[in-house]
Amino acid sequence: MTFDSLLVREMQRLSTTLPALSPVITRSVLRFDGAHHGDFPRWRDAIDALLAGDAAEPALRQLMPWRKGPWQFGELHIDTEWRSDWKWQRLEPHLAPLSDRRVLDIGSGNGYFGWRLLEHGAAAVIGVDPTLLFCMQHLAAISLLGPHANWVLPLALEELDVTTGFDTVLSMGVIYHRRDPADHLKRLFAHTRPGGELVLESLVVDGTTPLLPHARYARMRNVHIVPTPETLCCWLEEAGFRNCRVVDITPTSTEEQRTTDWMQFESLAQSLDPRDAALTVEGYPAPCRAIVLASRPD
């Protein structure tokens, strides 16, 4: 099998599982080419090498940086920038049973949580993420682990113009990157079936008012608003969700997000004030994240 035949097989499987997604599947396939990212040919060659049975480590290193994980492929351990398993441990006890549920994961990255959701009983997980490298990492995982009901499409939420109601919708680590959080939640609502559940995870600040970073937040240029947990619940109510529950608030530690052998760029430690780790280098409160669950009424 080659990368091209793997892609065709995966998209055919998805189309059979969720025929309503066919229009966006067609659009997604066209994104897997050199016109959408200059590094694409190198990434495709790496997956071709995996499919040919070559040593996994050199091929997977071509797909660096690995941000979400960790991963275990046989003997090979990929120590990713994020201990996403810690986020999963905070979320899992609060998730409704997923048996037979179809899950949509917005901003899925490389599909890490999709594998955890399948273990938790989900029937199928569709991730969408516009970053092509993360979609390639997902296909690398599929080429090593075999076909599963876990897909990642190279799309932004705003491009998902189909009206399939998912049983569970996740948006983790995305809303503070959006200029219009109300629009983001409106779209999440539209993708949640009546009676379905939303998982929203966001950076949050303590206090009574959201933070509007002046230029950067923890050196990120694309953080537009950091809400309070109460603001998140108000936004959710305004979008039509009910029964909002803040189930977890955890400061992000430099053990949870850090430079590793598989993500060699600077990480959280370099975004904190060296004299006071409670502050970012810009003087804002250091990153803290909340998980909120909510339901779409029947």
Ligand X SMILES: C[S@@+](CC[C@H](N)C(=O)[O-])C[C@H]1O[C@@H](n2cnc3c(N)ncnc32)[C@H](O)[C@@H]1O
Q: Which chain residues interact with ligand X by CB under 6 A? A: 68, 84, 106-109, 128-131, 134, 156-158, 172-174, 177, 201
Please state the closest distance from residue 63 (CB atom) to ligand X, in A: 14
117-124 own/partner pairs: CB under 8 Å, 24+ apart: 117/150, 118/148, 118/149, 118/150, 120/92, 120/95, 121/97, 122/98, 122/149, 122/168, 123/98, 123/99, 123/149, 124/17, 124/18, 124/149, 124/150, 124/151
Q: Which is nearer to ligand X, 68 or 296 (CB)?
A: 68
Q: Which is nearer to ligand X, 84 or 192 (CB)?
A: 84
Q: Which is nearer to ligand X, 134 or 166 (CB)?
A: 134
Place of tokens 């950067």: 216
Please state the closest distance from residue 268 (CB atom) to ligand X, in A: 12
Task: Name the DSSP class of 296.
Answer: -
* Short-list 136, 90, 147, CA closest to 113: 90
Q: Which is nearer to ligand X, 285 or 287 (CB)?
A: 287
Point out the residue whose Cβ comes nearest to ligand X. 107
* Short-list 220, 70, 217, 238, CA closest to 141: 70
Please state the closest distance from residue 28 (CB atom) to ligand X, in A: 13
Q: Which is nearer to ligand X, 49 or 112 (CB)?
A: 112
Q: 111: which 2 tokens? A: 């599909």
Please state the closest distance from residue 213 (CB atom) to ligand X, in A: 15
Please state the closest distance from residue 226 (CB atom) to ligand X, in A: 13
CA angle 11, 14, 16 (to 5 degrees): 110
Task: Name the DSSP class of 287.
Answer: P
Longest dimension (CA), the chain: 56
Task: Name the DSSP class of 40.
Answer: H
Q: Which is nearer to ligand X, 106 or 239 (CB)?
A: 106
Please state the closest distance from residue 1 (CB atom) to ligand X, in A: 27
